[in-house]
Structures are given as structure tokens and as C-alpha cells.
Amino acid sequence: MSTDLPDTMPAYVIHAAGGPEQFIATELPVPKPEPGKVLIRVRAFGLNRSEWFTRRGESPGVTFPRVLGIECVGEVAAENDAGVAVGQTVCAMMGGMGRDFDGSYAHYTCVPRDSVFAIETKLSWSVFGALPEMLQTTHGSLHTGLEITRAKTLLVRGGTSSIAYAAIALARAAGLHVTATTRTHANADALADAGAHDVLIDNGTIAPAARERRPDGYDRVLELIGATTLADSLAATARGGIVCMTGILGGTWTLDGFRPMDVIPTGVKLTAYSGNAADITRAELQHYVELVERGELRVKTGPVLSFAQLGEGHELMDANAANGKIVVLTD
């Protein structure tokens, strides 16, 4: 494959913060793999909220112009010193992709070896493309953030996101009793089908209802809505429990007038997860991919778009209308 590399590639470059119209389709030189890096022919990539925030100018430290994209799946495209064979199916995520250096909104991307995982799979690019960041973030949240091996109950706040669906399935498989929240009764059956033992309708305040079901509170709470519901989630947590804030679906980064002594209950621990590829091993990721292949782990996928429809994908995120992980195919 490396002998057939083109000189240039299609890519989307963003030069200034703003709406989806800021993505400019262009031709860029195909990156040259440096020592310790792997050149990937991108076949698909998922769209992520972190890219949405970056596009809007809300990611501190990210400078423009930039090719966004924090994850991808594809094939190794060139010889390298990282021990990954040309043609090997891989996924890549985090490690500065689309933030510190140009990412996956292109036909090729060059990624540090530590962010690249060789995976054996028969999944289509459209399904495989939805998995890397979703599985890494879910795994890291449950194990690094929440330490679920020492827990019996889990509350997933923001239960209809793609991360939430994966967390419900993986936590239930680990033996936890899982409760998920949703704003509408219409989503309750889908959450139950995904593995939730119980569903709470979330009007912004669920702690009283949660305490009715679990008077002592939940051992672990995965907070995916963010700052807007964090105080209420803390109030639903058991003494000795952990709340891990992983998502910002509510769109608010800060807690105005945050008073820790009033908001954090005695004995409750608050953490956050914004980890990277080092928090999951290749074997763990391979195992999760195989669970998806066998139908034992269902992932919530949304629209599958062409490369030319990238802007439409961001419009869907603007409108909160994706209803699952958006995947963009490059071919």
C-alpha cells in the first residue's frame, strides 16, 4: 500500500471557530510518517462532542487552522518503525489527534504509535468506525473513573447517549444493577432493551426519586450531562460512592457559585474522566469488538454519512438530532 500513496488527499480544514460552514474542503499533502508514528488510510471516523466544542472555539489550547477528528478506523498505509504491518486493520484515538496535530477529517492521518491499536474484525467500516472513542471512554469511565469492580449499583445520568448505552451494557455484564435516566418516557423501553434494570425520568432533579428506589444512594454515578446536573447526581450518591463526570451533554462547562462543602455530600467522591488511549489495552479493545461482532454488546449508532456530508453531521450535533453515534465514511 505504501508504494501507491498519492501526493495529496481530501481533507476538511477549519480556520476559525463557528458553525459547520467553517469546514473547508481542500487538498492537503499526505503526511509523512515520522519515527514512532503510523500513517493510516482513514476509512471511517465517528463524530464526537469534543470536536463539536473545538469547532465552536470552546477547546482551550487548540489553535487553527486544524484538521479535526479524534478517532478513526482504517489500514496502515506505509512502512513504519512501530511494528505495525502495512495493510493491518487498525483504530486510533486520542493522543492529541485533531487537537495538537491534524486528525481524522481526512483520507490519511499520521498518529503516534501509542494511540494505534491493531484489531482483527469483520465489522463493516460503518460499525467499526463508531467504536474506538466510545469504547475507550466507556471503559476508562467505568474502570479508571468509577472503579466498578468494587461496586454493586450504577446510575447512568444521560442514559440515551452512545457512551451511556455502552456503559449500561458493560456495567450489567460486570454484574452491577444499572439504572439509567432519560428525559422522556418514550426512551424507557430502549434503555431496558439495552440492559438497564431501572429507568428514571429526568426533569433535571432526580435525587428524590433515586433515593426512593435506593434509600442509601447509588454506589457509582456516571455523569454524562455535566455541570447542569452534577449537584443533583451527587445528592443521589451513597456515602463512600463515586461520581465520575465524563460528558457535557448539557453544554455547560462550569458550576456557577460552586460551594464544595455544600454540594459534595460527606464521604462522596467526585472525579472526572477525560483520559486517553493508555487507559485501555489492545486485548481489552479487541474483546469489546468481538462482543459487538457476536451481538453481545449493542452500540447505539446514528446516521452514516459520506465524506461530503461532514457538515451535515455537525448540523445534527448542533440540533441534538443524531440519536446515536454519527459515522463518516471516507469512500
Q: How far apart are CA 219 and CA 147, in angstroms?
A: 10
Q: Which pLDDT score is estimated for 3?
A: 53
Domain 137-272 belongs in CATH node 1.10.260.40:
no
pLDDT digit string, tens, across residues 52-64? 999 999 988 899 9
Q: Which pLDDT score is estimated for 298?
A: 83
Q: Which pLDDT score is estimated for 313?
A: 98
Phi then psi for residue 18, to 5 deg, are 160, -150
- 3 vs 79, more confident: 79
Instruction: Write out the three cell numbers for 147.
Output: 472503579
Rounded mean pLDDT, 21-42: 96
pLDDT averaged over every residue in the chain = 94
Rounded mean pLDDT, 258-271: 94
CATH 3.90.180.10 segments of the chain:
2-131+299-329, 137-272
Q: Is the pLDDT of residue 303 over 60?
A: yes
Task: Report the alpha-carbon angle 114-116-119, nearest 5.
Answer: 135
- The CATH number of 2-131+299-329, from 3.40.50.620, 3.40.50.300, 3.90.180.10, 3.20.190.10, is 3.90.180.10
Rounded mean pLDDT, 258-272: 94
DSSP 107: S
Q: How far apart are CA 261 and CA 48, in angstroms?
A: 34
- CA torsion 62-63-65-67 (nearest 10°) is -20
Q: Which pLDDT score is estimated for 255?
A: 82
Model confidence, pTM: 0.92
Q: How far apart are CA 232 and CA 252, in angstroms?
A: 15
DSSP readout, 184-251? SGGGHHHHHHHT-SEEEE-SS--HHHHHHH-TT-EEEEEE-S-TTTHHHHHHTEEEEEEEEE---TTS
Confidence of residue 2 (pLDDT cuts 50, 70, 90): low
pLDDT digit string, tens, across residues 156-185? 999 888 899 999 999 998 999 999 999 999
Nearest to 226 by CA among 243, 246, 242, 209: 246
